[in-house]
Amino acid sequence: AGKDRSRRNGLGHGLAARVVLPDDFGADLDRALARWDHEAGPDNVVEEHLVRRAAVASVTLDRLDAAR
């Protein structure tokens, strides 16, 4: 148990990790945001936040499907 715990000492939460995204991810995300904004028509900041999260998730899932 001690060795397992010690093995994980270097692990953190990962929130400060530098993430490298492919060059075309931004363009895909912009297109998805435009589609989601048009279709969902958010009326307030909460809906805007949820639409953005959905757009990011949809682009990410599409890329995962394509990679499979």
CB atoms within 10 A of CB 33: 17
pLDDT at 61 over 90: yes
Q: Regarding predicted confidence, which is higher, 12 or 65? A: 65
pLDDT in tens, 4-50: 777 777 666 667 767 677 888 889 999 999 999 999 999 999 999 99
At 11 the pLDDT is 66
Q: Is the pTM of this model over 0.75?
A: no
Residue 55 banded pLDDT, cuts 50, 70, 90: very high
CA angle 44–48–53, rounded 5-degree value: 150
Residue 30 · residue 59 · CB < 8 Å: no
